[in-house]
Amino acid sequence: MKYISTRGRAEPVDFVQACMAGLAPDGGLYVPESWPQIEPAKPHESYVIVSTRILKAFAGDSLSEADVLGLCKRAYASFSHHSVAPLVQSGPNQFVMELHHGPTLAFKDVAMQFIAQLYDLVLTRRDARMSVVCATSGDTGGAAAAAFAGASNVDLFILHPHERVSPVQRLFMTTTGAVNVHNLALAGDFDDCQAIVKSMFADIEFSNAVSLSGVNSINWARIAAQCVYYATTQAAVGSDRPIRFVVPSGNMGDAFAGYVAARCGLLNGFEAVCAVNENKTLATLFESGRMARTPAVPTPSPAMDISVPSNFERLMFEVSGRDGATVERVYEQYKQAGTADLPETVHGPLKCAGFKADVVSNADTLAEMRTYYGETGQLICPHTAVATATARDLPPTEAVTVILSTAHAAKFPETVLEATGLDAPLPGRCEALLEKGELFDQLPADLQAVKAYIREQAAG
Ligand SMILES: *Cc1c(COP(=O)(O)O)cnc(C)c1O
């Protein structure tokens, strides 16, 4: 199984190379050269068994079956629920898929736990060491810290905007106590953090010197690992029942994984509604075919405060008939001008790909958290609320509606309190966070300062 770039000008690589590289050298994103057809999940199969079958299909010859089984066993042992992504009924013919049973209470754990195991295996065999960097507005950093803490071959550098992540999100990053986890609190915003990470990757000399690698949402391993819960959900509701997934969306890595699951024969049809907050570029893009850079506005669901979703590039590549030249042209124009219109050869088929996007306002998000609690007695996080609110307004369907719950309410206690007047206590297994000391270094939002810091720590 080889991986090719969405811009069509990079050498094909294998699964391990694609995952360790993150971005392809031509600036594109890696996708499999063809979609493997994978045997669907069966109701009696465990999450580890299903994930092993799916990830082995994506890994091809680059990993043995025993390797993949070991990775999945270790990755999913860290979840507090043995089903990993259990379904809970929320209404007639409607279920919530709970993706928040991992160590940092957010769905990013599902992929990050697998990635950390993969890096450990590959780097141990190569007797090599890498510096993994990620910029975070909250959840990615915590998931990466929990997954890589104590890894003997990786130095993890997490860049977060100082005093602009929620206190619980920060605790998940800063209290691991692990010497290989380095938290950089930058005097800037999330965009500054992301811009610094991008510049570091563009600096080939620096990136080679410290063996830089990235685990942000464009890493293929994240998409591959996220396919699995779509497959187990199809098995749980019955292989003969079509599903309408409602997915809280930012960079669209989660929703795109559902599309991939369908292409690989793991689902009965495909229908997904991307639920977005007031950062509504994705909705505009599906409707009018116009990609426009607009500054992200703050909302109660910060993990979805994204202007143009990075995984859209993979979808564009598919619906264009895998036309790398067109993808490159559209993204070049977008980079130069800040806007680009999809050609009809892309926008036409996009309308038939099974996606749509609906926008939920900030006020409606908070109201939904209240309503949902009234109906079910369950507190939900603001990201999940964007999806449950979206589901309310969808037309009736024969399909089963499955809403993805991407974080635990306790991760956003301030918003829960504002919306419902209630406390959202941390689950028992996370209470220790509150007692631990925090470790982070404050730095200016300056590329040179960050590079100097990483050079020093990566050497040590
Ligand atoms: C990252 C995140 C999302 C958005 O997922 P994408 O794959 O970027 O679309 C939604 N909810 C939560 C809680 C997240 O952490």
Cα 11 to averaged position of ligand 1 atoms, centre (Å): 30
Please, what is the angle between helix 382-392 and helix 413-420, to 10°? 50
Closest by alpha carbon to 218, among 315, 129, 284? 315
Cα 303 to averaged position of ligand 1 atoms, centre (Å): 5
Which DSSP string do the residues of 85-145 spell out, in sequence order?
S-EEEEETTEEEEE---STTSBTHHHHHHHHHHHHHHHHHHHT--EEEEEE-SSHHHHHHH
Pocket lining for ligand 1, CB < 6 angstroms: 106, 108, 139, 217, 248-254, 303-304, 383, 406-407
Ligand 1 binding pocket mutation candidate from 249, 256, 282, 381 (most atoms within 8 A of CB): 249
Cα 140 to averaged position of ligand 1 atoms, centre (Å): 9
Residues whose CB falls within 8 Å of the CB of residue 125, separated by 6 or more in sequence, listed in order: none
Based on its alpha-carbon atoms, the radius of gyration of the chain, rounded to whole angstroms, reads: 21
CA distance 160 to 135: 6
Question: Catalytic site residue 335?
Answer: no
Q: Which residue shows structure tokens 């010197």?
A: 209
Q: Which residue shows structure tokens 């809970």?
A: 88
Cα 306 to averaged position of ligand 1 atoms, centre (Å): 10
Cα 348 to averaged position of ligand 1 atoms, centre (Å): 27
Closest Cα to atom 7, ligand 1: which residue? Answer: 253
pLDDT attached to residue 460: 59
Closest Cα to atom 11, ligand 1: which residue? Answer: 406
Closest Cα to atom 2, ligand 1: which residue? Answer: 303
- 251 CA: nearest ligand 1 atom: 8
Asked if 50 and 41 touch (Cβ cutoff 8 Å), the reply is yes
Strand spans (E) along 146-257: 154-161, 181-187, 212-214, 243-248
Task: Give Cα separations from 12 to 5, 47, 256, 331, 428 (angstroms).
Answer: 8, 30, 21, 21, 46
CA-based torsion, 115, 124, 148, 216: positive or negative? negative
pLDDT attached to residue 459: 67
Residue 391: CB atoms within 10 Å: 20
- 139 CA: nearest ligand 1 atom: 15
Element (H, E) at 400: strand 400-405
Along the chain (460 residues), what's the average pLDDT of each consecutive run of 10 residues? 96 96 90 98 98 98 98 97 97 97 97 97 96 90 96 96 90 95 93 88 91 91 98 98 97 97 98 96 93 88 88 96 96 92 95 96 98 97 98 96 98 97 94 90 97 88
Closest Cα to atom 8, ligand 1: which residue? Answer: 251
pLDDT attached to residue 298: 87
For the chain, how long is the longest CA-to-CA vector?
59
User: To the nearest 5 percent, what fractions of the chain are helix, strand and coil?
Assistant: 45, 15, 35
Interstrand relation of 30-32 and 87-91 (parallel, antiparallel or unpaired): unpaired
Q: Which two tokens stand for residue 167?
A: 């206190």
Which residues are bridge partners to 160 per DSSP?
185
Cα 248 to averaged position of ligand 1 atoms, centre (Å): 6
Which DSSP string do the residues of 274-312 spell out, in sequence order?
EEE-S--HHHHHHHH-EEE--PPPP-S-GGG--SS-TTH
- 407 CA: nearest ligand 1 atom: 13
CA distance 451 to 460: 14
Ligand 1 binding pocket mutation candidate from 281, 304, 380, 386 (most atoms within 8 A of CB): 304
Ligand 1 binding pocket mutation candidate from 406, 408, 416 (most atoms within 8 A of CB): 406
Active-site residue identified among 56, 108, 280, 411: 108
Which DSSP string do the residues of 341-358 spell out, in sequence order?
EPPHHHHHHHTTSSEEEE
Domains along the sequence of the chain with CATH: 87-101+221-420 (3.40.50.1100)
Asked if 347 and 371 touch (Cβ cutoff 8 Å), the reply is no
pLDDT attached to residue 207: 92
CA distance 214 to 144: 11
